[in-house]
């Protein structure tokens, strides 16, 4: 009778808790218990029903690594967001300089000679070079001024980034009221 009670007790306790914890201390002694191991012991959960084992220390380590990776990804996204905000501000500052130049020199520049390139609304040719938008806006202004300096351009009607551009060599097309057009490269403008 006693054997039957012990058997039923073991059977019900196995169904009540399907997990047993294998705890190994730093001294190498192993203990099996129904509660998680103490800190400083290796912690392996044994599932009595399935016979599987889960190394909880390894699982915790993987979760910590995943959390660190997610935190790192979040920091990188924030950094990229800040860089884009700075880039957009620098481009807006250059566009403002272009508009001020046009406003102060209406006899030399058409009102639409250097329309601002706005992030999110870029012409197709400028979309590939979004990360250089402040440079593009500055160089459009310089290209227009250089065309005027030749004496062959009475008034700038348009100064635009041209399809001949590449990442390392931007090209600008300047159209003048005289019908003359100029193609100026980034290298020519930065000499």
Residue 11 has pLDDT above 70, yes or no: no
Residues 47 and 69 in one domain: no
- Using one digit for the tens of pLDDT, what is the confidence trace for 172-191? 999 999 999 999 999 999 88
Residue 15 has pLDDT above 70, yes or no: no
Q: Is residue 21 part of a domain?
A: yes
* Total count of domains within the chain: 2
Residues 132 and 178 in one domain: yes
Domain that holds residue 25: 17-51
Please write down the HEC assignment for all residues of the chain.
Answer: CHHHHHHHHHHHHHHHCCEEEEEECCCCCEEEECCCCCCCCEEEEEECCCCCEEEHHHHHHHHHHHHHHHHHHHHHHHHHHHHHHHHHHHHHHHHHHHHHHHHHCCCCECCCCCCCCCCCCCCHHHHCCHHHHHHHHHHHHHHHHHHHHCCCCCCEEEEEECCCCCCCCCEEEEEECCCCEEEEEHHHHCC
Q: Is residue 90 part of a domain?
A: yes
pLDDT-derived band of residue 54, with 50, 70 and 90 as boundaries?
A: confident
Looking at residue 45, what is its pLDDT?
80
Looking at residue 13, what is its pLDDT?
54
Residues 128 and 168 in one domain: yes
Q: Is residue 130 part of a domain?
A: yes
Residues 166 and 75 in one domain: yes
Residues 106 and 154 in one domain: yes
Residue 42 has pLDDT above 90, yes or no: no
Residues 92 and 153 in one domain: yes
Residues 113 and 34 in one domain: no
Q: Is residue 5 part of a domain?
A: no
Looking at residue 96, what is its pLDDT?
96
């Amino acid at each position: 009778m006693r054997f039957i009670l012990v058997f039923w007790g073991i059977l019900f306790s196995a169904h009540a808790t399907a997990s047993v914890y294998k705890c190994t201390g730093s001294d190498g002694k192993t203990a099996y218990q129904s509660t998680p191991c103490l800190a400083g012991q290796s912690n392996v959960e044994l599932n009595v029903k399935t016979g599987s084992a889960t190394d909880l220390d390894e699982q915790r380590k993987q979760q910590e690594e995943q959390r660190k990776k997610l935190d790192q990804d979040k920091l990188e996204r924030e950094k990229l967001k800040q860089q884009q905000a700075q880039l957009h501000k620098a481009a807006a500052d250059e566009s403002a300089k272009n508009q001020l130049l046009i406003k102060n020199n209406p006899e030399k520049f058409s009102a639409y000679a250097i329309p601002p390139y706005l992030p999110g609304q870029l012409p197709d040719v400028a979309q590939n070079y979004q990360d250089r938008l402040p440079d593009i806006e500055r160089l459009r202004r310089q290209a227009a001024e250089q065309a005027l300096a030749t004496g062959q351009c009475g008034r700038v009607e348009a100064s635009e980034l041209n399809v001949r551009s590449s990442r390392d060599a931007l090209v600008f097309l300047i159209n003048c009221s005289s019908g003359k057009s100029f193609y100026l490269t980034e290298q020519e403008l930065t000499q």
